Structure 1
Amino acid sequence: MNEPFAERVRRCQRGLADRGGAALVASPGPALTYLTGVEESPSERHFLAVVPRDGSPVVVAPAMYEAELEVAPIDRVVLWDDGDDPVEALASVFESAGLEAGPGGGETIFLDDRLWTTFAKDVRGLFPDATYDLASDVLEPLRLKKDRTERATLRRAGALADRVSMTLRERGEAVVGMTERELADEIDRLLEAEGGRGPAFDTIVAAGENGARPHHQPSDRPIEAGEPVVLDFGAFVDADLESAQARYPGDQTRTLVFAGEPPEGYREVHETVARAQRAAIEHVEPGVTAESVDAVAREIIDDVGYGDAFVHRTGHGVGLEVHEPPYIVEGNEQTLEPGMVFSVEPGIYLEGEFGVRLEDLVVVTEDGCERLNTTPLDWACEGARR
Structure 2
Amino acid sequence: MKDSHDFHEFPEDEYRARYERARGLMAEAGLDALLVSEEHNYRYFTGHLPPTKNRPTLVVLPLEGPPLILAATYGSAAARQMSWVTDILEYEVPLRAEYLCDALAQAGLDGKAIGTEAHDRFFGAAGMGISHGEYGRLAELMPRARFQDASELIWRLRMVKSHREQECLAKVCEITGRAYQRTFTEARSGMTESQVGRILISAMMDEGADLPSQGRPGPCAFLIVDASRPLGQLHAPTEKRLALGDLLHIDTGAIYNGYCADFSRLATVGPPSEEQQSQWLEVRRRMDQALGVVRAGNRLGDISVHWHGVGLDGVEPPFVGNHDELLMEPGMALALEEIIYSDGGETYHLEENVIVTESGYKLLTEVDSGLYLIAAGE
TM-score, normalising length: structure 1? 0.83
- Could you say which residue in structure 2 is the equivalent of 1:135? 150
Give the secondary-structure state (helix, strand or coil) at the position aligned to 1:257: strand
How big is the shift at 1:235?
0.7
- Aligned pair in 2 of structure 1 residues 43, 79: CA closer, same or farther (>3 Å)? same
**Corresponding residue SS for 1:156:** helix
- Partner in structure 2 of residue 270 of structure 1: 280
- Aligned residue number for residue 204 of structure 1: 221
**Pairing 1:89-168 to 2, within 5 Å after superposition:** 89-100=99-110, 105=111, 107-112=112-117, 113=120, 114-115=127-128, 116-168=131-183
Q: Which one-letter code corresponds to 1:200 in the other structure?
A: Q
Alpha-carbon spacing, 1:382–1:96, altered in 2? closer, same or farther (3 Å): closer
Cα distance, 1:28 vs structure 2: 4.3
Q: In the alignment, which residue of structure 2 is the partner of 1:377?
A: 369
Structure 2 gap segments, 5+ residues each: 1-10, 121-126
Q: Check 1:168–1:258 CA distance in 2 against 1; reply closer, same or farther (3 A cut).
A: farther
Give secondary structure in 2 for the equivalent of 1:363.
Answer: strand
AA in 2 matched with 1:205: F
Contact 2:115 / 2:147 at 8 angstroms: preserved in 1? Answer: yes
> d(CA) in 1 for partners of 2:86 and 2:338?
45
Equivalence for 1:242: none
Contact 2:222 2:236 in 1 (8 A): yes
**2:50 counterpart residue number:** 40
Q: Secondary structure at the match of 2:331?
A: coil
Q: CA deviation at 1:330?
A: 8.2
Q: Which one of the candidate residues 91, 100, 108 is aligned to 1:80?
A: 91
2:250 to 231, 235, 240: 231
Tell me the equivalent position of 1:335.
327
| Structure 1 residue 227, shift from structure 2 partner | 1.1
Q: Could you tell me which of 60, 76, 80 is aligned with 2:70?
A: 60
Cα separation, partners in 2 of 1:359 and 1:128, compared to 1, 3 Å: same
In the alignment, does 2:36 pair up with 1:26?
yes
Structure 1 residues 157-166 or 45-54, which shifts more?
45-54
* Larger mean Cα displacement after TM superposition, 314-323 or 133-142: 133-142
CA distance in 2, matches of 1:74, 1:206: 43
Q: Quickly say closer, same or farther: Cα 1:261–1:366, change in 2 above 3 A.
A: closer
Show the 5 A alignment for 1:342-381: 342-350=334-342, 353-381=345-373
In the other structure, the counterpart of 2:19 is: 9
CA–CA distance in structure 2, aligned partners of residues 349 and 276 of structure 1? 14
Amino acid paired to 1:248: Y
CA distance in 2, matches of 1:234, 1:16: 33
Moved more, 320-329 or 136-145: 320-329
Tell me the CA shift for residue 221 of structure 1: 1.3
Partner amino acid, structure 1, of 2:166? R
Match of 2:352, as an amino acid? D
Partner of 1:215: helix, strand, or coil?
coil
Q: 1:184 to 1:76 in 2, by over 3 A?
A: same
In 1, distance between residues paired with 2:322 and 2:278? 25
Aligned with 2:249: secondary structure?
strand
Greater Cα shift, 278-287 or 195-204: 195-204
Cα distance change, pair 178–17 in 1 and its aligned pair in 2 (3 A): same
CA separation of 1:259 and 1:184: change in aligned 2, threshold 3 A: same
- Displacement of 1:211 in angstroms is 7.6
Tell me the distance in 1 between the aligned counterparts of 2:320 and 2:97. 41
CA contact (8 A) 2:26 2:63 kept: yes
Q: CA deviation at 1:159?
A: 0.5
Deviations 1:121-173 (A, max 9, x none): 242122235433223122111111100110000010010011112223433xx
Conservation of the 8 A alpha-carbon contact between 1:27 and 1:42 = no
Deviations 1:217-254 (A, max 9, x none): 3222111111111111211011xxxxxxxx10112201
The answer on whether the counterparts of 2:265 and 2:350 sit within 8 Å (CA) in structure 1 is yes
Residues in 1 aligned to 2:349 and 2:102: alpha-carbon distance in whole angstroms? 53
Mapped to 1, the partners of 2:76 and 2:173 lie a distance apart of 34
Give unpaired runs (5+ residues) of structure 1: 239-246, 298-313
Q: Residue 254 of structure 1 aligns to which amino acid in structure 2?
A: R
Q: Structure 1: which amino acid aligns with 2:77?
A: A
Distance 1:342 1:176 in 2: 34
SS at match of 1:164: helix
SS in structure 2 at match of 1:212: coil
Task: Tell me by how many angstroms 1:176 deviates.
Answer: 0.8
